Amino acid sequence: MTDNPTFEFAVRMGDNCLILGQRVSAWCGHAPILEEDIALANTALDLIGQTKLWLGFAGEIEGKGRSADDLAFLRDGREFKNGLLVEQPNHDFGHTLMRQFLFDAWHHPMLTALKASSDTRIAEIAEKSVKEAAYHLDRSTDLVIRLGDGSEESHRRMQDSLDTLWQYTGELVTPDAIDSTLGEQKVTPDLSVLKAQYSDYIISVFDEATLTIPTNAYMQKGGKTGLHSEAFGLLLAEMQHLQRAYPGVSW
């Protein structure tokens, strides 16, 4: 790894997409209806495509010859810098949709802001990715509203999911030294501005969905610095099994 803050940021963005893509892909063949099966598979593919852009860029910055595949499959758990939100297990369909929405509501404005990055490569990656993120946000917003303001059962499941996942959202909009350094250089946006946008959007959506945001929740953190949950270790073992068992294997 490197102390270069731009490398660290690219890894964070790539890991967020990679781990969420891995989680969402688990629904392929298991979603409640065919339309959702296809939609979730496409979302996962979009995220994996964005992973390749971010981790490929990170590998170039690092200068050690590691490709996006190397960074995805040959790093240990402490080297992954995704937020804790995206690694949370799928549980049920409502839980998966709530996790997606909470991520999308952050991801889309982040990519939109990154189009104006002082780093040309970051701006280019954001430009390529933001249309997919806009679709993801539109879809997850619609479903959260429909299920939150739907039947008694769907409302209960969505509220339970929000109550469980809310504690992992603070990390996304809380700056650390890397965020502050890159923000000063205009490489990344000011997270205080992004936090306000994030808050305004989700409040409006949850109001329409008749869902209540938990109050006084302790915000978990650590993912951005490589500290992850037990569930993450199980996910990583499954994701990296082939490359770990057969080093260098290729199709």
Burial degree of 251 (CB within 10 A; 0-12, 13-18, 19+): exposed
Task: Name residues of the chain where pLDDT drops below 50.
Answer: none
Residue 187: its pLDDT value, please? 98
What does the alpha-carbon distance between residue 247 and residue 251 come to, in Å, rounded to a whole number?
12
Residue 244: its pLDDT value, please? 86
Q: Which amino acid is at 226?
A: G
pLDDT digits (tens, 9 = 90+) for 66-103: 999 999 999 999 999 999 999 999 999 999 999 999 99
H runs (alpha helix) in the chain: 5-25, 34-62, 68-73, 93-114, 120-148, 152-165, 170-173, 177-184, 191-208, 230-245
- Specify the 3-state DSSP secondary structure of 71: helix
Residue 1: its pLDDT value, please? 55
Residue 33: its pLDDT value, please? 83
- Specify the 3-state DSSP secondary structure of 206: helix
Token pair listed for 48: 């994996």
Residue 251: its pLDDT value, please? 67
User: ∠100-103-108 over CA atoms, to 5°?
Assistant: 115
Q: Where are the domains of the chain?
A: 5-245
pLDDT digits (tens, 9 = 90+) for 128-141: 999 999 999 999 99
Query: What is the value of pTM for the model shown?
Result: 0.96
- For 55, residues 6+ apart whose C-beta sits below 8 A from its C-beta are 10, 11, 14, 15, 18, 68, 71, 72
SS (H, E, C) 78-139: HHCCCCHHHHCCCCCHHHHHHHHHHHHHHHHHHHHHHCCCCCHHHHHHHHHHHHHHHHHHHH
Q: Return the CATH fold of 5-245.
A: Ferritin (1.20.1260)
Furthest-apart CA atoms within the chain: distance in Å:
54
Residue 63's Cβ-side half-sphere holds a number of Cα atoms within 13 Å equal to 5
